[in-house]
Amino acid sequence: DVKVTQSSRYLVKRTGEKVFLECVQDMDHENMFWYRQDPGLGLRLIYFSYDVKMKEKGDIPEGYSVSREKKERFSLILESASTNQTSMYLCASSFVYTEAFFGQGTRLTVV
């Protein structure tokens, strides 16, 4: 059974804080993704990674960075959290050209 695990279900952070969201997968997938999910806007891709230390920007990378030092772990970093980054964040992973498996999501609130 594929497992994609996000480190936190709920987070509350203050404006200006540096925030780390962690994601771990146990299926040796090459690809890992970070999305944010907002009502009416669907899932918007922030960044994805196709290999260790490799990354590509998605549709909304501004204000975010990522790190992938190990194949199983993909971190999303909010350099200086702002209230407009309050959202549900979803991590996913996949092999090349196969279905993506999703984590349970992290609901981040920035106050």
Least distance CB 63 / another protein (angstroms): 20
Decide if 43 contacts 36 (C-beta within 8 A).
yes
On the 0-12 / 13-18 / 19+ scale of CB atoms within 10 A, 22 is middle
What distance lies between CA 31 and its chain's CA centroid? 12
Nearest approach, Cβ of residue 42 and another protein (Å) = 4
CB of 48 to another protein, least distance (A): 6
Residue closer to another protein, measured from CB, 62 or 99: 99
Q: Which is nearer to another protein, 48 or 81 (CB)?
A: 48
Residue ranges that bind another protein, judged by CB under 8 A: 31, 33, 35, 40-45, 48, 50, 56, 58-59, 90, 92, 94, 96-97, 99-100, 102-105
Helix, coil or strand: residue 63: coil
Separation of alpha carbons 33 and 101, rounded Å:
10
Q: State the minimum distance, in angstroms, from the CB of residue 29 to another protein.
A: 10
Pick the closer one to another protein by CB: 6 or 75: 6
Distance of CA 71 to the CA centre of its chain: 14
